[in-house]
Amino acid sequence: MRFPPHFHDTWAIGVIEAGLLRLRTARGEWIGSQGTILAFAPGEIHSAEALTPAGYRYRMVYPPAEMMQAIGVHQDGGAEASFETPVFTDQNLAGKLIRAHQPLMEGEWGTTAESRLVIALRSLWQGHRGAVVAGAHDPDDMHAVDCARDFLGARISRPVRLAHVASECGMSAFQLIRVFQRVLGVSPYAYLIQLRVNRARDLLHQGVGVSEVAYSCGFSDQSHLTRVFKKTIGVPPGVYRRSVRERAA
């Protein structure tokens, strides 16, 4: 099992239950095994690949930024909030996260189940909080990347030419690619595809049909969406949509 570089619009927090894998982010590379905690901030690009033939198994929750802010996760000194490292080992907290996650996956939504999750997330933040170092990248690079991200984010459903994006940000296409790779670790095109996948996942959650999702998210057709979605999420969009509906039933 391999997930290419990708990011989430929400926080992504979970525990590896079995297997061995390599995880990469702009902050470094880690080996994860049973009990390893994963804690990625919104927009933090990461990839994962199995290191054993049997692959790996994990549990994840995706709390929105509003929920994390409500439990005390906030920005410090203008830097984006994050955990000290995105991958670490804390067996006590790993157990809390698993015990909080399991009843939610079994449909036991309620005050007790949700409180257990909030307590686990708050403990995680209090014990492993950190912050992205402000000024880690050249200000001009950051400005260009922010410009490109805003431009791409406003055009998820439309065809986009790299030269047009670069021109809007005051540089050549080759310069923009280099800056994007240096700051985010992916190309502008890969970033746009991930934006589209994230939007597709949101629409599928809402029950929108796969063909309509493909059109709304800028994919050339349903087959294109299926290929990209399966590569990024691990299952085809139709299967993902059915699983969401079954859990909600």
DSSP class of residue 4 equals E
Q: Under DSSP, is residue 125 helix (H, G, I), strand (E, B) or coil?
A: helix
Looking at residue 116, its pLDDT comes to 84
β-bridge mates for residue 16, sequence order: 58
Q: Which string of b and e fits 210-229 if b means at least 16 CB within 10 Å?
A: beebbebbbbeebeebbebb
Residue 29 to residue 48: CA distance in whole angstroms:
10
pTM for the predicted model, two decimal places = 0.73
Q: Do domains 2-131 and 139-248 have the same CATH topology?
A: no
Q: What is the pLDDT of residue 133?
A: 47
| CATH homologous superfamily for the domain 139-248 | Homeodomain-like (1.10.10.60)
Position 248 scores a pLDDT of 61
Q: Where are the domains of the chain?
A: 2-131, 139-248
Query: What SS3 state is found at 196?
Result: helix
Instruction: Return the structure tokens found at 118.
Output: 């909030």
Secondary structure class of 137 (helix, strand, coil): coil
pLDDT value of residue 16? 94
Dist CA 30 CA 21 (whole Å)? 8
Whether CATH 3.40.50.300 fits 2-131:
no
- Give pLDDT tens digits along the chain (249 positions): 678 888 998 899 999 999 999 999 888 899 999 999 999 988 889 999 999 988 899 999 888 888 888 887 765 544 567 888 899 999 999 998 988 887 776 666 556 777 888 888 988 888 888 754 444 678 889 899 999 999 999 999 998 999 999 999 999 999 999 999 888 888 999 999 999 999 999 999 888 999 999 999 999 999 999 999 988 888 899 998 888 777 665
The predicted structure's pLDDT at residue 78: 44
CA atoms within a 13 Å half-sphere pointing along the CA-CB vector of 107: 7
Amino acid 137: pLDDT:
72
| Unique residue bearing structure tokens 């859990």 | 247
